[in-house]
């Protein structure tokens, strides 16, 4: 079994969501899952009574089952088994009969089984998917990097599922880098975010691509001091989006959050949280914008405060969270990952603001 990503992921992800003195309590509730040992890596919700999570169950130190779980409003149960060695890291759910998982390749749930969907070939090398996004007309986006051998030589890659196959997207000449997040803006538009890798004379910098009028173009974005990158993006409307990630100066990471107003990107005020890299961003039904992240023992969950025009810290679900998901039509939030105690004990946490 390939476990190329497991050790570094556990080392750097840490406890993603941390307590904050004076912040509103989120009243996180632990919800059991039918997996004794393993990991949960992604979650997506359709409603308060329908959510899905993917990850793996360890059968031994060298063997694991890839799996999907389903929340029915009361309990998590095993929904299905994904293709062997698929190592899901991203999840997108359109309905109970149309779901996508990405990790070592991509797979689609057709209502009765998971079917591998081979990505299109890329002249840059083997495509490693990092993020999924649903689009109009049953299309799906996948973003990541094309790797010719060493990851450091990867180049950004985007593909689109047209209902029959994945189709490679033509991107501008970007050099070495990667894409970590993607979102549809509707009407044939999309945003993808990531990083352009550093060179001898230039630090790593954030990368934003925008699809408009059938062409992907590079968007001008703020360039913080030191190394910086973007990990996730969400769309609030066709003319408002948010991207989150981190900056690193002298080896100390700080949160980074950018806002798009339909025409330009601007940096927003974030609290100083050493090692507080952000990995996910989403919006509740009440319009509350949340961003989560962390590294090692440091954890951070932020909420955008429009009145203060700044991000504020919120409370901790008590797990090493891989990511979180807001719930359509609800103020609920799901966080999934592993316990802070024990050896790879999968955990979920649920809260309603």
Model pLDDT, residue 353: 67
Model pLDDT, residue 3: 33
Model pLDDT, residue 342: 84
Whole-number percent of the chain with pLDDT over 90: 74
Model pLDDT, residue 150: 87
Residue with tokens 């109970």: 96
Cα(270)–Cα(118) distance, integer angstroms: 40
Model pLDDT, residue 297: 55
Handedness of CA 57, 325, 301, 264 (dihedral sign): positive
Name residues whose C-beta falls within 8 Å of residue 14's C-beta, 6 or more positions apart in sequence. Answer: 275, 294, 295, 296, 297, 298, 299, 320
Positions in the chain whose pLDDT score sits under 70 = 1-26, 296-299, 316, 353
Quick one: which of 266, 276, 348 has its CA closest to 314?
Answer: 276
Q: What angle do CA 287, 288, 291 make, to 5 degrees?
A: 135
For 122-156, the pLDDT digits (tens) are 999 999 999 999 999 999 999 999 999 888 999 99
Whole-number percent of the chain with pLDDT over 70: 91
Model pLDDT, residue 298: 64
If residue 211 lies in a helix (H) or strand (E), which one and from where to where?
strand 205-212
Model pLDDT, residue 26: 66
If residue 232 lies in a helix (H) or strand (E), which one and from where to where?
strand 227-237
CB 301 within 8 A of CB 314: yes
Residue 94: CB atoms within 10 A of its CB come to 15
**The two three-digit tokens of residue 347, written as one number:** 């955990």
């Amino acid at each position: 079994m390939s476990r190329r990503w497991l050790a570094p992921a556990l080392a750097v992800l840490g406890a993603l969501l941390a307590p904050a003195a004076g912040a509103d309590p989120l009243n996180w509730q632990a919800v059991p899952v039918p997996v004794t040992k393993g990991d949960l890596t992604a979650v997506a919700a359709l409603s308060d009574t329908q959510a899905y999570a993917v990850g793996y169950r360890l059968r031994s130190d060298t063997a694991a089952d890839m799996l999907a779980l389903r929340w029915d409003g009361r309990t998590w149960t095993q929904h299905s088994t994904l293709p062997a060695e698929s190592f899901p890291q991203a999840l997108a759910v359109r309905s109970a009969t149309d779901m996508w998982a990405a990790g070592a390749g991509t797979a689609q749930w057709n209502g009765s089984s998971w079917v591998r969907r081979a990505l299109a070939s890329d002249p840059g090398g083997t495509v490693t998917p990092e993020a999924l996004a649903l689009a109009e007309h049953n299309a799906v986006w996948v973003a990541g990097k094309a790797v010719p051998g060493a990851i450091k030589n990867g180049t950004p890659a985007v593909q689109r599922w047209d209902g029959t196959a994945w189709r490679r997207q033509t991107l501008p000449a970007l050099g070495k880098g990667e894409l970590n997040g993607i979102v549809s803006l509707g009407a044939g538009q999309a945003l993808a975010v990531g990083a352009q890798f550093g060179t001898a004379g230039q630090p790593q910098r954030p990368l934003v691509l925008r699809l408009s009028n059938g062409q992907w173009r590079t968007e001008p974005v703020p360039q913080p001091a030191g190394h910086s990158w973007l990990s996730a993006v969400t769309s609030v409307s066709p003319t408002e989006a948010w991207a989150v990630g981190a900056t690193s100066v002298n080896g100390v990471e700080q949160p980074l959050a950018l806002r798009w107003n339909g025409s330009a990107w601007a940096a927003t005020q974030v609290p100083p949280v050493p090692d507080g890299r952000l990995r996910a961003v989403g919006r509740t039904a009440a319009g509350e914008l949340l961003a989560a992240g962390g590294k090692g023992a440091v954890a951070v969950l932020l909420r955008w405060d429009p009145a203060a025009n700044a991000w504020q810290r919120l409370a901790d679900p008590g797990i090493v969270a891989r990511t979180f998901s807001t719930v359509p039509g609800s103020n609920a939030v799901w966080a999934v990952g592993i316990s802070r105690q024990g050896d790879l004990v999968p955990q979920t946490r649920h809260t309603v603001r």
